[in-house]
A and B are shown apart, each in its own frame.
Chain A
């Protein structure tokens, strides 16, 4: 497994948000995670990416126990994530956002910046080429020099995906990649995610757009009130009465 959560628990004070949640992301697969609002999906992402500490359970990334690592160490170990509400660096342009996301830049350290400017310059040139390719891949060419704060919701989602890709992660966690994105752009996002998956990237995707998600993923998990209530192939999961009950509140 590229990412493996077992028996993860988390609480805000006395309020249990995650209760014995287990989930696996096999290599080169797209795994979906759905559930009604407040089910604990985004909290699960926060715990997985190290922004919150789990009360119990273990988190393994590519065979390594990362349960006790912070968010920085987890990102360095190859865990990339986006946020439900896009967190672009709003005063930086699209291009600068992507450049800033590149890991281990020599020019981020002050001594080499002043002592080996040539090395910094050459690295920067190579990085700019990589970023130019990525901007083309994400269809952001028209806005590459626009401050990212003024992008549309969908463009911000694409930019965040691009930023994560700069780090060449082992697994990518997408938190509602299609929320607030216009239908045309959703198709292009789906298309990009498929393409990346074909290149070997693994994904765990939270999404409310069930149609887009069930097209995309091979396995789907359903959470409700902090617990995993169903897992399996998307069509089977969506037909599960427990899932329909959780989503529709038993009204239908």
Chain B
């Protein structure tokens, strides 16, 4: 039971990093990023490639963050020209293009077969401790750091300006501030957090393949953000915990639904998670921790 709880906590904490990043991008700045999973994949692949070729996590963790941020840069520049809905489509396309590139460029990524035998956290760091406890500890530390950094950012003049950009970009321009410079920074930072989440993901599951990085992951992160409260850092924390509770809890739906095959079960779970989201937005539209749109 403890092992199960630890496993759930690790998954929730990985989602938490992703959700904090998306909340900075969308909740505070209004950047509708529908390609978040792309940054997550880059982080996972960089870590997998470095550590399966003998590199340590001391290198691969920062490399995953920087790599994801670097790839996000040109995508971020699109936000200069594209309004919310078009930017959403462009980011979705970018993440799918990346996934197809991972499948096609099999000389480096091993294509659809994925990368196996990624060393666990203890091996990757050269430490003689329980790898699950280690990754759990590191994930808690990473999330605490992310919450502290992002909170400092959003409760500052920088945070005020990105919220102003979210509310009315042209009015910000009329005040002599260029929204693009802020949006690029925010997008790249959010991507870096997703890259870090990807690195942990690779170490924890030891196997990654392109089919793990479908747009569905992006939408799970959106759900976590909406559940917790858009534009609230604590909401991102609460939302990712609740999301994993739903995703995992729906596993037990099987006990009350006999005669459902394993394949059908996957759809039933999605249905349960979707219904939970609909109910929560009906009963508590501002999310668990409050939502800027309802303030």
Residue among A70, A73, A90, A96 making CB contact with B160, cutoff 8 Å = A96
Q: Are A163 and B175 in contact (CB under 8 A)?
A: yes
Docked complex: A155-184 residues within 8 A CB-CB of B: 163-164, 166-167
Please encode chain B, from 282 to 295, with 1 for each CB lying within 8 Å of some chain A CB and 0 for all others.
00000000001101
Q: Are A105 and B157 in contact (CB under 8 A)?
A: yes
A100 in the interface (beta carbon within 8 A): yes
Q: Are A51 and B156 in contact (CB under 8 A)?
A: no
B290 to chain A, nearest CB (A): 11
B199 to chain A, nearest CB (A): 22
- Tally A residues with Cβ within 8 Å of B: 38
Stretch in contact with the other chain, from B61-69, B166-174, B248-256: B166-174
B176 in the interface (beta carbon within 8 A): yes
B7 in the interface (beta carbon within 8 A): no
Knowing A108-B157, A110-B185, A120-B157, the reply to whether A103 touches B176 (Cβ < 8 A) is yes
Q: Are A92 and B175 in contact (CB under 8 A)?
A: no
B219 in the interface (beta carbon within 8 A): no
B177 in the interface (beta carbon within 8 A): yes
B246 to chain A, nearest CB (A): 28
Q: Are B292 and A167 in contact (CB under 8 A)?
A: no
A198 to chain B, nearest CB (A): 24
Tell me if A's interface is mostly helix, strand, loop or mixed. Answer: helix
A247 in the interface (beta carbon within 8 A): no
Query: Which residue of chain A lies nearest to B294 when distances are taken between CB atoms in the complex?
Result: A91
Knowing A91-B163, A100-B164, A108-B161, the reply to whether A81 touches B174 (Cβ < 8 A) is yes
Q: Which residues of B contact A49 (CB under 8 A)?
A: 174
Q: Which residues of A contact B176 (CB under 8 A)?
A: 72-73, 75-76, 103, 167
Q: Are B171 and A89 in contact (CB under 8 A)?
A: yes
Knowing A103-B176, A114-B152, the reply to whether A51 touches B157 (Cβ < 8 A) is no
Query: Which residue of chain A lies nearest to B185 when distances are taken between CB atoms in the complex?
Result: A110
Q: Which residues of B contact A91 (CB under 8 A)?
A: 163, 166-167, 231, 292-293, 295
B242 in the interface (beta carbon within 8 A): no
Bound Cα distance A71, B168 (Å): 14
Bound Cα distance A155, B9 (Å): 49
Q: Are B175 and A109 in contact (CB under 8 A)?
A: no
A87 in the interface (beta carbon within 8 A): yes
Bound Cα distance A90, B166 (Å): 10
A107 in the interface (beta carbon within 8 A): yes
Bound Cα distance A142, B92 (Å): 45
Knowing A72-B177, A75-B176, A91-B295, the reply to whether A110 touches B171 (Cβ < 8 A) is no
Q: Which residues of A contact B166 (CB under 8 A)?
A: 91
Bound Cα distance A103, B172 (Å): 11
Please encode chain B, from 171 to 196, with 1 for each CB lying within 8 Å of some chain A CB and 0 for all others.
11111111000100100000000000
B58 in the interface (beta carbon within 8 A): no
Q: Which residues of A contact B182 (CB under 8 A)?
A: 108
Docked complex: A16-59 residues within 8 A CB-CB of B: 49, 51
A-B contacts, 15 of them at CB < 8 A, read A49-B174, A51-B174, A72-B173, A72-B177, A72-B178, A75-B173, A88-B168, A96-B163, A105-B157, A108-B182, A110-B153, A110-B158, A114-B152, A147-B295, A163-B175
Q: Which 7 A-B pairs have the closest CB atoms?
A: A107-B157, A75-B176, A87-B171, A89-B167, A76-B176, A105-B157, A89-B164
Known: A49-B174, A51-B173, A107-B157. 11 other contacts (CB 8 A): A71-B174, A83-B170, A88-B167, A103-B177, A107-B156, A113-B152, A113-B153, A120-B156, A120-B157, A147-B295, A164-B175
